[in-house]
A = this chain, B = another copy of it.
Amino acid sequence: MKAWEENIRRVVPYVPGEQPKKEKIIKLNTNENPYPPAPGVEEVIKQMDYAKFRLYPDPTVGDLVKAIADRYQLEEDQVFVGVGSDDVLAMAFLTFFNSKKPILFPDITYSFYDVWAQVFRIPYQVQPLDQKFQIQAEDYKKENGGVIFPNPNAPTGIAMDLDFIEKILEQNQDVVVIVDEAYIDFGGISALPLLKKYENLLVVQTFSKSRSLAGIRIGYAMGNRTLIQAMQDVKYSFNSYTMNQPSIQIGVAALEDVSYFDRTKEKIIATRERIKPALKELGFSFLDSKTNFIFASHNSYAASDIFEYLKANDIYVRYFSGNPRIQNYLRISIGTDLEMDRFIAVLKEYLK
């Protein structure tokens, strides 16, 4: 190893779900929305003034911040916008988790939490889910430097109710508690109403799932103005211009169309509920998902075998080989009704 190589940071790179380039596949592996974004997005694209791209974007992302604040009845200084919720969450880790005490999060959860903790040298301690893959509130009643968990949790899909979230907040009033609500719009109950009571609460959401904009990268955090101001300060000290011009305009257009939003998310929920009995009939067990995916294991077939069979039939689901507790599970994103019918048909063939 050469001298200059010695100071290179060593990391375990995250392996994102496959993004196969084939056109005719059924892609149920990265929790994308099967429906296109709101039609207003197309309008925005058509009317976009490319000549303005020569100018820096608004570093305050003002139009989008205002649209989000209006939508959730918050003040504008309660909203922070970033390049996908990964950017927002990483910025929150960097801003709020500077204690020497460990931050707490579940053992089975979004796979970036431990990576960010390592990158930023934040001590952490994972709290195992119970046998039913449930988060236990008591596990978060100990000295810590901060708390983060997704609600609904991923990849389990299980949602916690508002009383449960409040219990964790009650136990943790001296640290920042982040609720990562990437999947909240598919049946969970948001912690937003608790913002008034707990000023150490940060709620993070995304445009990638329920707003069909994974390709545009928009995430946002909501909280009291001290938290949001602190994130802004860190962000400005880091990279002032992160959201590009198209993102800002597209985000606003997607947010405006409330009825389109409601319709597509209802469709996804209906499809999810419809395929549950079909999966059960095929011998699958699964948790009560409040997300746009189902986390399922088969009672006699190995997840890895089902995964490979589906893939050979151009159906991609997500399989987590790393963690022994979940290595017999598949995470199946909810596609269109047509896609899910094909998915069930292929499974039937294999499991018959």
Report which A residues bind B (CB closer than 8 A).
2-9, 11-16, 19, 27, 30, 32-37, 41-42, 45-46, 48, 50-59, 83-84, 86-87, 90, 94-99, 115-116, 118-119, 121, 145-146, 173-176, 199-200, 208, 212-217, 226, 230, 232-234, 236-247, 250
Contact = CB atoms under 8 A, between A and B. Distances in A.
Contacts of A97: 7
Contacts of A212: 53-54
Nearest to A53: B215
Contacts of A27: 55
A58 B11 contact: no
A242 to B, nearest CB: 6
7 contacts: A2-B199, A7-B97, A15-B236, A53-B215, A54-B212, A56-B208, A94-B119
A213 to B, nearest CB: 5
How many identical subunits does the complex contain? 2
B119 A237 contact: yes
Contact of A244 (B13, B216, B241): B216
A215 B61 CA distance: 12
Given A7-B98, A33-B54, A57-B215, A84 B174 contact: no
A257 to B, nearest CB: 13
Contact of A234 (B3, B11, B215): B11
Contact of A217 (B48, B58, B200, B242): B242
A3 B244 CA distance: 36
Contacts of A46: 46
Given A86-B241, A238-B90, A242-B217, A176 B54 contact: no
Contact of A51 (B5, B36, B119, B233): B36
B56 A32 contact: yes
A51 B214 CA distance: 11
Given A16-B59, A99-B7, A238 B116 contact: yes
Contacts of A174: 2-4
Nearest to A95: B9
A215 B83 CA distance: 14
Q: Which 7 A-B pairs have the closest CB atoms?
A: A3-B174, A36-B51, A215-B245, A54-B212, A11-B237, A53-B215, A86-B239
